[in-house]
Amino acid sequence: MTWLATLEERTPPMAALAVSVVAISTSAILVRFSDAPSVVKALYRVVFTTLLLAPLTVAQYRDDLRALSVRDGLVAVVTGVALAAHFAAWFESLEWTTVAASVTLVQSQPLFVALGAALLLDETINRRMVGGILLSVVGVAFMSLGGLLSGAALAGARPLYGDALALVGAVMAAGYVLAGRSLRQRVALVPYVTVVYSVCAVVLLVVALAEGATVAPTAYPPEEWLLFLGMAVGPGIFGHTVINWTLKYVESSVVSVTLLGEPVGSTLLALVLLGEAPDVFTVAGGAIVLTGIYVTARGRPSGA
């Protein structure tokens, strides 16, 4: 048994999910610190994440990668495209609205995930889980209202445009979670994310070139590269990659609603590091979101 298999065996999925939420909460802050174009930030985040996983893929998972069926490979490719669309839309939204509004709206995907999980994956979603999901979405609405009001006061802000981009990111994120839940039942984590991240990077590169963005490494100072690397290690490895691992063991609806904890963490970090003080809507919404996450997790069928 490899060290990674041993680690997987000993790690409680819900604890891993909690770690991933903390990790992805740093994403919006790192994005805001960077002065690079939005699509370039997304591109190099995924490129660095893929490069960090490459040695493990080559050393231990070459056979698994070659054994990937054509069908599963195609689904992984489509998932990579969805992830690229999620990143491109969300990173751009952060240029036009507040961290609170952008992060909460992009994480409004539990409704899409719950519907897709019931229709496509035959997942059981009981009334308590539905109640928790709806409660979390109410919390998202509160936080988004606060973000919209405060966003109007930001220099050059276009909060409605930024919020619309964040919602596009939410739909793409829902597709990403649903596809991951399906494939992770039969495909190992590392081969799966290697394909998804590689495709995502290629799509983002095409988008960057189409937009005329500068992607040459010499165009950015060292501090930008540290931010790109930080996005890869935190939100990339400990965030998205750990989330993909949990999708083998935890229902997609539970994973998606737990990710609504990200706005709470991001808003706290924005207060400390960016000086974006949350208003009463954001504080109340955050409390409601956390309550909804708790209700949804507690509502999981026994033995799940």
pLDDT score at 303: 47
Two structure tokens written together for 181: 């839940």
Residue 193's nearest CA partner among 65, 41, 43 is 65
Residue 103's nearest CA partner among 116, 119, 86 is 86
Two structure tokens written together for 183: 């494939």
User: Residue 233 gets which letter from DSSP?
Assistant: I
Q: Are 125 and 59 in contact (CB under 8 A)?
A: no
pLDDT score at 231: 94
What are the angstrom distances between the C-alpha of 34 and each of 27, 133, 154, 218, 257?
11, 33, 18, 16, 28
Is residue 118 pLDDT above 70, yes or no? Answer: no
pLDDT score at 226: 95
Span 173-201, mean pLDDT? 86
Confirm whether 199 is domain-assigned. Answer: yes
Confirm whether 5 is domain-assigned. Answer: no
Is residue 151 pLDDT above 60, yes or no? Answer: no
Span 137-151, mean pLDDT? 67
Two structure tokens written together for 166: 């964040």
Confirm whether 188 is domain-assigned. Answer: yes
pLDDT score at 102: 75
pLDDT score at 223: 93
Residue 14's nearest CA partner among 237, 173, 249, 186 is 249
Q: Are 244 and 193 in contact (CB under 8 A)?
A: yes
Helix/strand/coil for 61: coil
Helix/strand/coil for 168: helix
> What is the per-residue burial (b if ≥16 Cβ within 10 Å, else e) of 223-246?
ebeebbbbbbbbbbbbbbbbbbbb
pLDDT score at 134: 82
Confirm whether 147 is domain-assigned. Answer: yes
Cα-based angle 298, 90, 158 (whole degrees, multiple of 5): 115
Distance between CA atoms of residues 290 and 267, nearest Å: 13
pLDDT score at 190: 86
Its domain, for residue 213, covers 13-298
Helix (H) or strand (E) holding 78: helix 70-93
Burial level of 39, CB count in 10 A (0-12/13-18/19+)?
buried
Span 185-195, mean pLDDT? 86
pLDDT score at 209: 93
Confirm whether 2 is domain-assigned. Answer: no
Distance between CA atoms of residues 288 and 59, nearest Å: 45
pLDDT score at 140: 72
Span 168-174, mean pLDDT? 87
Confirm whether 91 is domain-assigned. Answer: yes
Q: How many structural domains is the chain composed of?
A: 1
Q: What is the pTM of this model?
A: 0.76
Is residue 127 pLDDT above 90, yes or no? Answer: no
Distance between CA atoms of residues 270 and 24, nearest Å: 13
Q: Are 30 and 231 in contact (CB under 8 A)?
A: yes
Confirm whether 3 is domain-assigned. Answer: no
Span 64-88, mean pLDDT? 87
Residues 6 or more apart from 211 whose CB is under 8 A from it? 37, 39
The percent helix, strand, coil of the chain (3-state, each to 5) is 80, 0, 20
pLDDT score at 46: 92
Distance between CA atoms of residues 231 and 238, nearest Å: 10
pLDDT score at 225: 95
Confirm whether 7 is domain-assigned. Answer: no
Amino acid of residue 110 = P
Is residue 282 pLDDT above 90, yes or no? Answer: no
Is residue 5 pLDDT above 70, yes or no? Answer: no
Lowest mean pLDDT among 140-154, 185-199, 221-235, 251-265: 140-154
* Per-residue pLDDT tens over the stretch 7-61: 667 788 888 888 998 898 888 889 888 999 888 998 999 999 999 998 888 888 8
